[in-house]
């Protein structure tokens, strides 16, 4: 097995040359060579040290089975007398799509990595800074891959063609690279197309393949993620583009609408309370009218959410409050809220009276409204009340 451009990677990431391979997270877009690179590194390491390799796909494999396997490996390693050097018994665990793991599963990996019971070689299409726990990232080295250059894709195509004992003309290769978009996997799949097809038919097939959505696979997650990020970034043009890609690819319209409901609460919040109603109504409407008319409702909701003001203050508030509760013993409301001592706010001017609603000392300010849309009013009001 070889890897095009590996010498350049070693220059950028010197730890790849180390005799003591660290745990790695390799991230980048689909077809950038993440899986190929992790297998290349693992197999090279196996040849040098004899380490065992275990494969785990976060999207399809059972995490409980992985935990059982790691426990068994730990027992075997403690009894092993086959190796003269202890580090040679540390297995390599190749994990695809690590961003699919939940927080508890990611936390579980901290122990085996910290204790050097495994070397984790993981891949993800997401940015680890947002998709993975900070504690996990701190224990691993990061390698970022971008889409392949035309030059490297040309080399990949020639290598794969030679492996398949096929001849690809420069003309056909130029057409292939035109639609590849930096994706080496696309190149490999395109080489499987019947070489006897005419140039025109070959190009039409590539054009269709380049548009394949794969609603059950990686592209499904890539496109919905880009859709959400475009709305978050207030770019309705990009949001419309990705919405069209999903509709064209046969994505479940209710899934799209539900993601917009979550977005409305998480990323728009109280900056524009109407956003949640827009998203909710779009979801109900799509369920009522179906497709293709449902595209109109989705388009209206997506353009609204992308164009309106944004605030994640309420999203942060509930997360911080949950974290606070988990660190405390049982929190009980003060008894006076259930007695005649309770002051009914509507009996006072502006429906407000100063009183405590919790016995917690130095309670954090979970909700911190921003200077955005309607929240500007909330911020001013709460500051005036001392809250």
Provide the token pair at 74: 């730990």
- Cα–Cα distance for residue pair 108/178, rounded to 1 Å: 44
Provide the token pair at 278: 């827009």
Provide the token pair at 165: 């004992």
8 A C-beta contact, residue 147 and residue 29 = yes
Q: What's residue 83's pLDDT?
A: 45
Count of alpha carbons within 13 angstroms of residue 366, beta-carbon side: 13
- Cα–Cα distance for residue pair 259/340, rounded to 1 Å: 45
Q: What's residue 280's pLDDT?
A: 96
- Cα–Cα distance for residue pair 172/161, rounded to 1 Å: 12
In the block, tokens 């049982």 appear at 330
Report CA torsion sign: 79, 80, 86, 92: negative
Report CA torsion sign: 236, 239, 243, 244: positive
Q: What's residue 1's pLDDT?
A: 59
Provide the token pair at 371: 């200077």
Query: How many helices and strands, by DSSP H and E, does the chain display?
Result: 17, 5
Q: What's residue 210's pLDDT?
A: 66
- Cα–Cα distance for residue pair 96/125, rounded to 1 Å: 10
pLDDT by residue for the chain (387 residues), tens only, comes to 567 777 788 888 998 888 788 999 999 877 788 988 999 999 888 888 888 888 888 777 888 888 888 887 777 766 655 444 455 568 899 998 898 888 899 999 999 999 888 999 999 988 888 788 999 999 999 999 887 777 888 888 888 888 888 878 888 888 888 878 778 878 877 887 877 778 788 888 787 766 665 655 556 777 888 999 999 999 999 999 999 999 988 888 988 999 999 999 999 999 999 999 999 999 999 999 988 999 999 999 999 999 999 999 999 999 999 999 988 888 889 888 988 889 999 999 999 999 888 988 888 999 999 999 999 999 999 888 887
Strand 92-96: give its sheet, edge to edge.
Answer: 53-57, 92-96, 119-124, 24-27, 141-144
Q: Rounded to whole angstroms, what are the CA distances from 27 to 57, 95, 185, 210?
A: 15, 12, 16, 22
Q: What's residue 85's pLDDT?
A: 47
């Amino acid at each position: 097995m070889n890897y095009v451009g590996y010498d350049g990677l070693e220059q950028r990431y010197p730890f790849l040359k180390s005799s003591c391979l660290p745990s790695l997270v390799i991230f980048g877009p689909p077809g950038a060579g993440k899986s190929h690179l992790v297998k290349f590194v693992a197999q090279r390491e196996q040849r040098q040290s004899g380490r065992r390799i275990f494969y785990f796909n976060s999207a399809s494999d059972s995490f409980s089975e992985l935990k059982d396997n790691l426990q068994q490996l730990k027992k075997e390693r403690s009894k092993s007398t086959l190796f003269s050097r202890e580090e040679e018994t540390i297995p390599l665990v190749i994990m695809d799509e690590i961003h699919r793991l939940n927080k508890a599963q990611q936390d579980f990996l901290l122990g085996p990595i910290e204790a050097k019971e495994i070397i984790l070689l993981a891949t993800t299409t997401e940015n680890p800074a947002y998709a993975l726990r900070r504690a996990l990232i701190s224990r691993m080295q990061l390698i970022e891959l971008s889409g392949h250059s035309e030059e490297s894709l040309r080399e990949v195509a020639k290598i794969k063609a030679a492996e398949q004992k096929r001849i690809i003309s420069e003309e056909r290769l130029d057409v292939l690279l035109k639609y590849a978009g930096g994706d080496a996997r696309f190149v490999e799949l395109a080489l499987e197309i019947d070489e006897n097809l005419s140039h025109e038919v070959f190009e039409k097939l590539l054009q269709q393949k380049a548009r394949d959505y794969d609603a059950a696979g990686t592209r499904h997650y890539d496109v919905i993620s880009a859709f959400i990020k475009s709305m978050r970034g207030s770019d309705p043009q990009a949001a419309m583009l990705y919405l069209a890609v999903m509709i064209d690819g046969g994505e479940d319209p209710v899934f799209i609408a539900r993601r917009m409901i979550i977005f409305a609460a998480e990323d728009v919040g109280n900056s524009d309370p109407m956003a949640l109603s827009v998203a909710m109504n779009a979801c109900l409407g799509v369920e009522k009218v179906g497709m293709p008319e449902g595209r109109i409702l989705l388009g209206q909701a997506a353009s609204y959410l992308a164009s309106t003001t944004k605030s994640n203050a309420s999203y942060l508030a509930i997360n911080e409050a949950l974290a606070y509760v988990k660190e405390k013993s049982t929190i009980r409301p003060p008894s006076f809220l259930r007695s005649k001592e309770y002051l009914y706010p509507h009996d006072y001017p502006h429906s407000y009276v100063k009183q405590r609603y919790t016995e917690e000392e130095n309670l954090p300010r979970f909700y911190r409204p921003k200077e955005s849309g309607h929240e500007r009013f909330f911020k001013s009001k709460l500051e005036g009340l001392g809250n």
